[in-house]
Amino acid sequence: MKFQIKYFAAVLAAASLFVSCNNDDDSAIVEGTHGDAELFFDNGVAGDALIIGNTYTNSNGESLTINRFNYIISNVVLIREDGTEYVYPKEESYFVINHADELQTVHLEGVAAGDYKKIRFGIGVDQQRYLQGETAQQSFWDLAAANDLTWTWSTGYRFINFEGVFTSTADAEAKPFQVHQGSNTATDNYREVTLDLPTTARVRENEQPSIHIKTDINVLLDGDTKILLQNNLNGAGTAAAIMGGQNLIDIAANSLKMFTVDHVHNGVGSHHE
């Protein structure tokens, strides 16, 4: 009887080891292989979901009814635990996020298999890319233009297009506002942000991670530096527009805290939860 118990225990242990090895093999990194990954940008306002047409009040005492929120994400880099990086090909690494059209997912194809612990990306378009000229980036320029993320070619891209109407404690009459963040001849407002992933993003031939990134639009005007729309009214006092100067430098700094990674899904297919 003791022999039988020992025999069955040995069989179970061997079976467990076999299953464990198979699971390890399934998730092992195979050098030279590639898979896909996706970034899902979940736009919100100070913890609330962003709903176009809804009104949100910030700590500046201004209530904003948001009608547009589009932006450009670029130069994606995935970073392993040991600090080595997978740089997504630059020519393919420019993406538009358009909340109203539910264009919120960035698909990354042909990513080197690996376990990734951080992500870095740009907010806007870097000068190196812009200076390649219009012909070199015509397809992305056309996409950005279709999503209201360009000025004229000579003045370049809008990195962020944030628009709506607002009221303030100083004036209860609703007035339109425009915040168009981008670089200009005086300043380069392109910024890059690095985010920790709460769990490892596993890229394999048969496993696609989805990195769920929360975007807090509120920090643009109500971040470390407070920017009042009421202080940016035009001469007639009928509308507010922020499109240059120190305000854009401050907004660029605020935007570095606009993104956080909420969670990572590992598996086959897309997950937006």
pLDDT tens per residue across all 273 residues of the chain = 444 444 444 444 444 443 333 333 457 899 899 999 999 999 999 999 999 999 999 999 999 999 999 999 999 999 999 999 999 999 999 999 999 998 999 999 999 999 999 999 999 999 999 888 878 889 999 999 999 999 887 778 999 999 999 999 999 999 999 999 999 878 999 999 999 999 999 999 999 999 999 999 999 999 999 999 999 999 999 999 999 999 999 999 999 999 999 999 998 655 555
The whole-number pLDDT of residue 132 equals 86
pLDDT in tens, 33-74: 999 999 999 999 999 999 999 999 999 999 999 999 999 999
What is the pTM assigned to this prediction? 0.87
The whole-number pLDDT of residue 204 equals 96
Q: Which of 61, 64, 67, 116 is nearest to 88 (CA)?
A: 116
Cα–Cα distance for residue pair 129/200, rounded to 1 Å: 30
- Structure tokens belonging to residue 190: 């392109």
The whole-number pLDDT of residue 22 equals 36
Contacts of 177 (CB under 8 A, 6+ apart): 64, 163, 164, 165, 166, 229, 232, 239, 240, 241, 242
Residue 43 burial by Cβ neighbours in a 10 Å radius (0-12, 13-18, 19+): buried
- Structure tokens belonging to residue 117: 């612990």
Distances from the Cα of 17 to the Cα of 11, 20, 24, 59, 250, angstroms: 10, 5, 10, 57, 57
- Structure tokens belonging to residue 224: 């470390």
| Structural contact between residues 217 and 66, judged by C-beta atoms closer than 8 angstroms | yes
The whole-number pLDDT of residue 224 equals 97
Question: Beta strands 94-98 and 160-168: pairing type?
Answer: unpaired
For residue 181, the one-letter residue type is Q
Cα–Cα distance for residue pair 91/10, rounded to 1 Å: 56
> Residue 229 phi/psi, 5° resolution?
-65, -35
The whole-number pLDDT of residue 50 equals 97
- Rg of the Cα atoms in the chain: 23
Cα–Cα distance for residue pair 148/71, rounded to 1 Å: 9
The whole-number pLDDT of residue 82 equals 94
> Residue 255 phi/psi, 5° resolution?
-65, -20
